[in-house]
Amino acid sequence: MSCHQVLRENGHRLTPQRMLVIEALHNADRHISAEELYKQLHSRYRYANISTVYRTLELLKQLNLVTEADFGEGRVRYHVAEKGHHHHLVCRSCGKVIDLEDVALRPLKDTLLQKYGFDADLRHLAISGKCSECRKKKRGA
Amino acid sequence: MSCHQVLRENGHRLTPQRMLVIEALHNADRHISAEELYKQLHSRYRYANISTVYRTLELLKQLNLVTEADFGEGRVRYHVAEKGHHHHLVCRSCGKVIDLEDVALRPLKDTLLQKYGFDADLRHLAISGKCSECRKKKRGA
DNA sequence: TTAAATGCAAACGCTTTGCAATTGA
DNA sequence: TCAATTGCAAAGCGTTTGCATTTAA
């Protein structure tokens, strides 16, 4: 089911601004920030406003059409929910983001449920640390 | 080695404000925010300033005396490094924070190192999800 | 004595909000 | 038509910064 349909079915209007935000979210090849969405929107429609971007994101979040991810940058990034879940390894030295397979977190999720009765939401988890290259550099230096 | 010693050895002054912040950090039974530290400091010394709290925290961070943790609240929380590492399960429904044993994350850390060459920093990791009680409630409702 | 540290106020970056004007259905 | 949505400007929040004053060593 498309974002457009979900909006309509929940009684929300399909405004040009919303359609542009949704399009930008779908075209993004990675998690995208509100500011980046706003820039894209603004380049296509001069009177675009960042408030509208935030309000649209809030709406899409409520409808479970987008999810948030926090990479510890002091801002949140957004991602189309239907694109599936991602896990990331963020290198503290060079900033590189490594995608992590879902299976790598499966054992953890199972452990938490069994031992703590806790249903962990590991969608868009970001783990910080140091990537192999930066570890090599450090050792060399 | 105490925080006071580390400060001295690195050529930093032991001001009353710093000592109060350090004391509050040590007395805190959980991760504490800058605002909370400021309130404690202010109650003991009226002219205390939140800039000083932030500057002290920045310094202690650089000296590896405190570590930061992000619970996704829009602010960062601080913790005395020597008190050891904590992992937390944060319930998205009731806000409860469950402490997680170190061993629960050991397999994940090993996997990330072996498969991705990534040295994950899992100190103060916060995993959001739903606790057992809230899961029960949801099922009942 | 003097560089380091503080207090204050102002600015910062990201996000939210009040309100009048606009617009999709 | 008219409630939902927007644009704008202003405010909110946590955090940082410039600068004159104070202070630990």
Domain ranges of chain B: 1-84, 85-141
Identify the CA nearest to A6 among candidates A17, A16, A18, A32: A18
User: Which CATH class, in words, describes the domain spanning A85-141?
Assistant: alpha beta
SS (H, E, C) B76-96: EEEEEHHHCCCEEEEECCCCC
The predicted-structure confidence for A116-133, as pLDDT tens digits, reads as follows: 999 998 877 888 888 998
Task: Provide DSSP, A29-89.
Answer: SS-EEHHHHHHHHHHH-TT--HHHHHHHHHHHHHTTSEEEEE-SSSSEEEEEGGG---EEE
Please report the pLDDT score of residue B127 as a whole number. Answer: 87
Please report the pLDDT score of residue A141 as a whole number. Answer: 52
Q: Which pair of structure tokens corresponds to residue B13? A: 């002054």
Greater pLDDT, A100 or A39:
A39
pLDDT (mean) for A73-87: 85
Q: Is the pTM of this model over 0.85?
A: no
Q: What is the Cα–Cα distance from B107 to B112, expressed in whole angstroms?
A: 9
- Which residue has the closest alpha carbon to C14 C1'? A75
pLDDT in tens, chain B (141 residues): 689 999 999 999 999 999 999 999 999 988 999 999 999 999 999 999 999 999 999 999 999 999 988 887 889 999 998 887 778 888 877 778 888 888 889 899 999 999 999 999 887 788 888 889 888 876 655
- From A127, which residue of chain B is nearest by alpha-carbon distance? B120
pLDDT(A63) > 90: yes
Other CB atoms within 10 Å distance of the CB of residue A3? 22
Across chain A, mean pLDDT equals 89
Residues of A in contact with B89 (CB under 8 A): 112, 116, 118, 120
Residues of A in contact with B102 (CB under 8 A): none
Q: What is the Cα–Cα distance from A31 to A121, expressed in whole angstroms?
A: 18
Please report the pLDDT score of residue B5 as a whole number. Answer: 94
Q: What is the Cα–Cα distance from B18 to B53, expressed in whole angstroms?
A: 8
Q: A75 CB contacts (<8 Å, ≥6 apart)?
A: A33, A34, A35
Other CB atoms within 10 Å distance of the CB of residue B124? 19
Determine whether the interchain pair A132/B116 forms a contact, defined as Cβ–Cβ distance below 8 Å: yes
The matching CATH number, chosen from 1.10.1040.10, 3.40.50.300, 1.10.10.10, 3.40.190.170, for A1-84 is: 1.10.10.10
Please report the pLDDT score of residue A138 as a whole number. Answer: 62
pLDDT (mean) for A70-78: 87
DSSP B137: H
Greater pLDDT, B121 or A27:
A27
The answer to whether A16 CB is within 7 Å of strand C is yes
Q: Kind and range of the H or E element at B55?
A: helix B50-62
